[in-house]
Structure 1
Amino acid sequence: MRLIALNKPFGTICQFSPHETRPSLADWVKVPGVYPAGRLDSDSEGLLLLTDDGALQARIAEPRRKLVKRYWAQVEGEPGADALAALERGVDLGDFVTQPCRAKTIAPPEHLWPRNPPIRYRASIPTTWVELAISEGKNRQVRRMTAAVGFPTLRLVRVAIGVLDIFSLAIAPGESIDIPTDAPWQRINPARRSG
C-alpha cells in the first residue's frame, strides 16, 4: 500500500491524463498506479492524497466516512457572526443542504505560499480569510457555501485532511512525499480527530 501527499498547485486538474491547456497530476507525481482519494477543482490548491489502495481511497474520499477536511478560503468582503453561524448550521445550496461544520475567521496566513497568478485585487473591497472544517466534499462545496452567505471565495486552499496537515508535512506547491504506512495518518478517521 502506498499513500502520497501532494501540494496541488493552482490550475492543476485532478486527473493523470493530459489536458490541452492545464497541467495534470502527472506533471507533479511520477508514481504509477496511484489515484487521487477525493478531488480538488483546478482553481483550488493544497493537500491532495493519492493511493494505490482502493479501501484507503474510499476511507478518505467518501462523504459517509465523515473525514474532516480543513480549508482556508480568502473571501470577498468581511463576513460577520451571522454569516459564520449560517455556514456552521448548514447552507441550502438548492440541490442539497450542507452538513453542520466549523467556520471561523483567521488572520491572513503569513506562511502561505503566494498564488500564481495572484487573486484579483480591488482596493475598494476588503478580503477576509475564513477557515472551514467540513466532513463532506461535494463539487465546489466550499465555494458554493461562502457564495450562498454573500461572500464569494477568491482563493481556496485545503490545508488538512484528518490529522495530516500540509504545513507539518512541509511540502511546497508541486511537491509530494510518501506517508509511511505505519504513521499516525491511520487516525484520519473519525471526524472528531480533525485539526
Structure 2
Amino acid sequence: MPLILFNKPFQVMCQFSAHPQRQTLADYIKTPGVYPAGRLDADSEGLLLLTDDGKLQHRISHPKRKQAKTYLVQVEGEPADDMLERLRNPLDLGDFVTQKCEVKHVAAPDWLWPRDPPIRERQNLPTSWLTLSISEGKNRQVRRMTAAVGLPTLRLIRIAIGPFSLATHPLWPGESREVDADDI
C-alpha cells in the first residue's frame, strides 16, 4: 500500500480527472489507484498525502482522528497579540466555530520556494508569516480564520500532516516521495 507525500504546486487541482484550464494531480502522480487523503484548494500549496488504502485515507483525513495539519501562512499586515489570541481560541466563522489551534508569528522562512505568479504586495502594507496548526479542516478554514481577525491570507502552504512534514521530507513543488505508511 503506497503512501505518497506530494508537494502540490499553486493552481494545481486536487483531483485526477481532467480540468479544462488547470493541471491536476494526474499531471504529477503516475502511481495508479491512489487518491488524496484530504484536499488543498487550487490557491493553496504544499503537502498532500495520497494512498490506495481506503482505511488509511480515512485515518489520515477524518477529523475524529485529529491528525494535525500545519500551515505556513503569509498574511497582509502585522499580527497583534490579541489577533493571535483570537486565532488560538474557538472562532465563530458564521457557519461553524473553529476548535482551538496553535498559532505562532514566525520569521519569513529562508527555505521557501518562490511562488509563480508571485503574491500581490502593496508598498504601504507589510506582510507577516504565521504557522497555524489545526486538527479539523473545513473548506477554506485557515483563510477564513485569518480574515476574521483582520489578517487576510496572501499565501497558504501546508507544511505538515501528522508526523510528515516538508521539513523532514523536503520536496519542491511537483515532487513526490513514497514513505512507510506505518509511520502514520
Scaled by the length of structure 2, the TM-score of the pair is 0.98
Q: Distance in 1 between matches of 2:147 and 2:57?
A: 29
Q: Distance in 2 between matches of 1:53 and 1:154?
A: 34
Task: List structure 1 segments (4+ residues) > 2 angstroms apart after TM superposition.
Answer: none
Provide the secondary structure at the position in 2 that maps to 1:19. Answer: coil
Q: 1:2-33 deviations in whole A, cap 9, x for unaligned? A: 10000000000100001011110001101110
Q: 1:81-116 deviations in whole A, cap 9, x for unaligned? A: 101000100211100000000011000011011111
Q: Distance in 1 between matches of 2:125 and 2:181?
A: 46
1:68 lines up with 2:64 in the alignment? no
Count of residue pairs brought into register by the alignment: 184
Aligned residue number for residue 29 of structure 1: 29
Q: Distance in 2 between matches of 1:170 and 1:154?
A: 23
Q: Distance in 1 between matches of 2:91 and 2:10?
A: 26
Aligned residue number for residue 134 of structure 2: 134
Aligned residue number for residue 48 of structure 1: 48
Identity of paired residues, percent? Answer: 61
Aligned residue number for residue 58 of structure 1: 58
Aligned residue number for residue 155 of structure 1: 155
Query: What is the CA RMSD across the aligned residues, in angstroms?
Result: 0.8
Larger % of helix: which? 1
Q: Distance in 1 between matches of 2:56 and 2:85?
A: 33
Provide the secondary structure at the position in 1 that maps to 2:57. Answer: helix
Structure 2: 5+ residue stretches without partners: none
Scaled by the length of structure 1, the TM-score of the pair is 0.92
Structure 1: 5+ residue stretches without partners: 187-195
Aligned residue number for residue 115 of structure 2: 115
Q: Distance in 1 between matches of 2:173 and 2:37?
A: 18
